[in-house]
Chain A
Amino acid sequence: MHRRKFFKQSAFATVGTMLIPSFLKAYESKHLGLNQPVGKTLVIVQLSGGNDGLNTVVPFRNDIYYRERPTIAIAPEKVLKLNDEIGFNPALEALKGLYDDGLVTVVNNVGYPNPDRSHFRSMDIWQTASDSDKYLTTGWLGRYLDANCQGNDCIAHRAIEVDDTLSLALKGQDLNGLALLDPKKLYNQTRSGLVAELSNIKPAAEVVASHPNVSYLYKTLAETASSAEIIYDKSKVTHTKTVYPASELGNRLKTVSELITSGVNTNVYYISISGFDTHINQPGQQERLLRQYAEAVAAFTKDLKTNGKLNDVLLMTFSEFGRRVKQNASNGTDHGTANNLFLIGGGLTPGRVFNEAPNLTNLDEGDLKYTVDFRSIYATLLRDWLKVDDQAVLGRQFETLKVVSRS
C-alpha cells in the first residue's frame, strides 16, 4: 500500500510540475524501444445473461436431464461426445475440432458459495472476485494491474477491453484498463474536439497542488491519448489474413489477434457478448450464439497458430451463472447457479474434461452445486499462466487447477 501511495503521489507531482510530455515520452520510448518478448496473454470472453451450461456441455447419459427438459434437451445422437458422459451441443462443432486437437479444457461445476441468481449481482461477484456477501469496488483484473505496476510500467493498455465502455473487472484502485472497440476509433476520439490539445496542456499549478482530482483527470487523459496513439501506430501495420466470421465476437477477436501480433504491451484482453438470458424459446437462440462463439474462437485459434502464438495465448470463457436444471413452461430456462467454463489454448496440458460431470441428483433448490470455486480458475490464470502473485489480487489463497503446461 505504501509503495502504491508513493507512486500515486510521485505521478501527480510529475503532472503538477508540468512534465506530462516527458513523463509520458519516457514510458513510450521504453515500450516502443524494447523488443522484449511480451510473454503470456490472457483473453477473457464473458457470455452475459447466464449461458445454459447443461445444454452447452450435455450430460447425454443422464435420465434426469431428459426428464427435466422434455422439450429442450438435446438428443444423445446429436451430442458431440467428449467422453462417456458428456458432450458438446452440436452448434459447438468448431469447438469440438479444437477439443480433438487437445486445445480445450472443460471445467464443470464452477461457482461460489451462497450463489446469487441476479444477473447484476452475480456478474459483480465474478468481476470483483468477491465473496457473495461482500461488496468490492475494484475488479480482479484492475487489481492485477495495481499489483503489477512498477515504476514507469503502469499503463492502461496492459489490459484492454474490446468495447466502448470499461467493465468493473478492469477497474483497479490506482489503475484502470483501457476500453477500445478498435484502435482507430479510440485514436480518432483522442484527436477530436479539445481532447488532443488538452492532453498537451497543463492545468494551473496551484490548482493541481491543492486538488488531486484535477491531476487525476489530466493524467487519465494524457495516458489515454498516449496509449491510443501507441496502439494505433502499432496496429495499423498488422492485418491478419485469417478470415473471421462477421459476428460481433468474430470482429472483436480479430482485433485482439491483430493487437497481439502487433506487439502491443498488453497481457489481458476482455470481451463480452450477450443474449444468453434464454427464458423463452431457448434452443434456437442459444444454438445461434454458441455457433457464433465456436466459429469465432476457431478462427482466432487458427490465426494464433499461423502467427506462432498458440502456446502464448490462453482464452477463458465464462458466464455469470448457469441455469435451472428443470426447464420452464416457455421452452426456456430460468436463472441457476454453478456452470461449466472453457479454457482454450496451446499452453495447457492436453485439453480434456477436467472434472466430474454435474450431479443432477444432489441439487440445491433445483440448482447445481459448485465444486470448483471460480477464484481457483482466476488463481490458475494469475499464478500459473501470467506468473504473478495471485494472492495480491484475490486477497487469499485459492488452489490452482494444474492445467497449465510447464514450459
Chain B
Amino acid sequence: MKERVNKQHLFWRAGFGATPAQLREADRQPLRKVVSQLFTDSQAFTPLSVVADDQPDKKELKNRFKEGQLTRDMLKDRIRENRESIRDLNVRWVEQMTSGRAALREKMALFWHGHFACRNQNNVRMVQQYTNLIREKALGNFGDLLMAVSKSPAMLQFLNNQQNRKNAPNENFAREVMELFTLGRANYTEHDIKEAARAFTGWGFNPQGEFVFRRNVHDEGEKTVFGKTGNFQGDDIIKLLLERKETATFVTTKLYRFLVTDEIATDSADQQRISQLADQFYRSGYDTAGLLETIFTSDWFYDPKHIGAHIKSPVELLAGMQHSLGIHFEQKQPILYVQRTLGQVLLYPPNVAGWPGGRNWIDSSSLLFRMKLPDLVLKAGEVTIKPKDDGDVNTALLARKVNRLFASTIDWSTFEKAFQKGSEEHLLDELALYFLPQPLSPSQRNLLLTKVKKEAPRSEQIRTLTALLLSLPEYQLC
C-alpha cells in the first residue's frame, strides 16, 4: 500500500494526479521506471495556437482604425476578440494539464509561470509566444529559459524595458530579474540594479513581436555589476546572474516549496537538502530535468510528512479533479470561473511576484467554495457565488454569471471499472486511498458511510462517495 501511496504522491507533484488506469499500470513497475516514464511522456512538445503569429495587436488595430481600414465597431470587436483569445489560450492550457500526455511538462510550465509571472491583456500574440516558451523550455536548461523569457516581448513589455533607454533608464526589468527571477532579495545592491539597467538599455521588440537590440538607445559605457566592470550588454548580465550561486539556491528553494512541501522549516533537514540540490543544479549548469529526477527518486521525497503537505492551487485542484474522472466541460466558462473565484487566473497573475501559494489560497470563503466545487462539477449544481469584479472593464467578461455553468460530460464508466469489488466499506476505503493523501479517521469514515445506501447500485454508491470525498478538506491537499 505504501508503494501505491508513493506513486500517487509522485503523480500529484509531478503532474495533476493519475487516473485509476494509470495507477494500475504504474503498480507493475518499479518507482524509478515510473519516474523515467514521466520524462518520456513529456518529451514531445506541441505549441498551443489560438491565433496566427501575425495577429495584429491592439496598437496595430488602432493604427488601422486611424488609417480608415477598420470602422469603430470593427475595431471594438477585434480588440474584444484579442482579449477573448487570451482566455481561449488559458482554457487550452488547462486542457493540456487535464488530459494531455505531458503532465510533467505542464506542471513545470505552471511553476515557471508563477516564477516568471507576466501578464498582458491586449496582445494575445505575445502572450501565446510567452506561454509556449515556458512550456517548451520547462524541463530544459534554466539559463536558456531565463535568457529566452528575458528577451520575450511579453516580459519586456510587462517590465517596461521597451522604455529603458540610454539617458532615461527604466530599472523595472533589472530589478525584477534580480529580485524575483534569480538572486532573491538581499543578494544585490541598488547600485547593481542601476548599472544592470544601463546594460539592458536597447533590449526591446519590433511590431512583428520579435526581440530586437536597438543599439542606438543602448548605453555603451562601462558598467560595474557585482564588482565586475565591463562594457556589459543585457546578455552579459544574464550570464553574471547565472554565475552567482545564489541564483541556484533561490530557484531550488522555490522549486522545493512547489514540489516537496509548502512549509520549509528553517533549521531542518529541508535546508540541508535544498543546499545539496542547489549544489547539483549549479554544478550541472542549471539542468532542470536532472534536478527534478534527483528529487523524484530521493527517499526523502516520499517521507510521509511530505505526502499531503501541499495545498493544491486552484488550477491544480480543478485540473486534478478533471483528470481523475475524465471531466469535460461543455463551455469554457467554468474553467475561468473557478480560477477567478479561487484567485488563480492563468495568464493573469496578480503581479510579477506570482501567486504566493500555500495557506494564502485558503480563507473562509475560498474553503467553502472548494468544498462546494464537487457539487457544481459532478452535479452541475447551481452557481451562487459571484467572483469579485476588479473594476477593469477589460476583465469584466470573466465575471459573467452563466446558468447551467458547469454542464459537463464525465467518464464514469471508465472510472467505475476500477472499483467493482468488495463491500461498501471496502469501496469507501479504496476510493479514499485513491482521492486522499491520508486515510480517513474513524469518525470521518463513519460519517461518510451513513451517506451511502447499502441497497443502491454500485455505480450510484461510487458517485455518492466520490462527491463526498472530493468535498473533504483533505482533498485540498496533495
Question: A-side interface residues toward B, CB under 8 Å?
Answer: 47-50, 119-121, 123-124, 133, 135, 137, 156, 163-168, 171, 176-180, 185, 189-190, 192-195, 197-198, 201-205, 207, 210-214, 216-218, 220-221, 223-224, 227, 272, 274-277, 279, 320
Contact = CB atoms under 8 A, between A and B. Distances in A.
Contacts of A207: 308, 438, 441
Nearest to B375: A193
B283 interface: no
Nearest to B374: A193
Interface residues of B, number: 58
A212 B305 CA distance: 10
B444 A214 contact: no
A213 B175 contact: no
Q: SS class of chain A's interface: helix, strand, loop or mixed?
A: mixed
Given A49-B392, A135-B180, A217-B476, 17 more contacts: A120-B351, A124-B351, A135-B353, A165-B343, A165-B366, A166-B366, A176-B363, A177-B363, A179-B364, A198-B473, A202-B443, A207-B308, A212-B263, A217-B473, A220-B364, A220-B367, A275-B389
List 3 tightest A-B contacts by C-beta distance, closest first: A48-B391, A49-B391, A204-B441
Interface in B341-398: 341, 343, 348, 350-353, 356, 359-360, 362-369, 371-372, 375, 384-394
A274 B391 contact: yes
B262 interface: yes
A156 B368 CA distance: 14
Contacts of A133: 175
A92 to B, nearest CB: 19
B471 interface: yes
Contacts of A185: 384
B351 A121 contact: yes
Contacts of A212: 263
Contacts of B100: none
A135 B352 contact: yes
Contacts of B386: 164
Given A120-B390, A176-B363, A203 B372 contact: no
A304 B263 CA distance: 45
A276 B371 CA distance: 33
Interface string B239-272: 0000000000000000000000011000000000
A246 B393 CA distance: 23
A50 B310 CA distance: 37
A193 B372 contact: yes
Which of A177, A194, A216, A279 has the most B CB atoms < 10 Å from its CB? A194
Interface in B303-355: 304-305, 308-311, 341, 343, 348, 350-353
Given A165-B341, A167-B388, A213-B477, A124 B472 contact: no
Nearest to A173: B359
